Structure 1
């Protein structure tokens, strides 16, 4: 939507801002990378409980939702990005990267549909999905 409304240069700046914010929320033992388009992967190590994942997801959401102030060409705007996070857990949701990505992708679309900030893969965690 941002590319269509304001151009690819603005979209690229927003991606750079968001990538920087994600990097700032990453612990040394974790990994964050751009997966393509406007999707990022966040790989967490040494997670003790699903509640720990909730804390991290909410931290990411707060960081991403800080307004992105953009000034390029004749455009001066402030954009608020509302992320959708799909969460999969190794080995419960899969033992291969492909399986974990597939489960996380489905959970992300469920978060988008339900207008939640994040969603776990399994049905019993729907109560933990929120903005």
Structure 2
């Protein structure tokens, strides 16, 4: 009987230590200057949804995009993913993130409206892209 109680106590201590090591979810805000348009927003969200995984097991938990500011806030599990990995994921989707540039191949696949402003991307005169699409 003593062995069973000792094993149970040891098991509880191990589980408590393991759960104490799981870090609390954190938020990171990234500047993504191309996020000024619904088409760009949808494109990045679809990519992040694949990156997130079906059970949030990849470490990205959720995000909030502010198109008027060209920013994205991402909640992530620091025990499973790093801010550098998140930036790389955004770069792989074709978008710049803070100081990191999009990968060349992914950037080429973006529609013209999602390109960098210095390359003619972004809202075009007479065609506001900050207006949500009609469904």
Which bracket does the TM-score occupy, shorter chain normalised? 0.3 to 0.5
Bigger RCO of structures 1 and 2 (CA < 8 A, at least 6 apart): 2
- TM-score norm. by structure 1 comes to 0.36
**Structure with greater Cα Rg:** 2
In terms of fraction of residues, the more strand-rich structure is: 1
In terms of fraction of residues, the more helix-rich structure is: 1
- TM-score norm. by structure 2 comes to 0.35
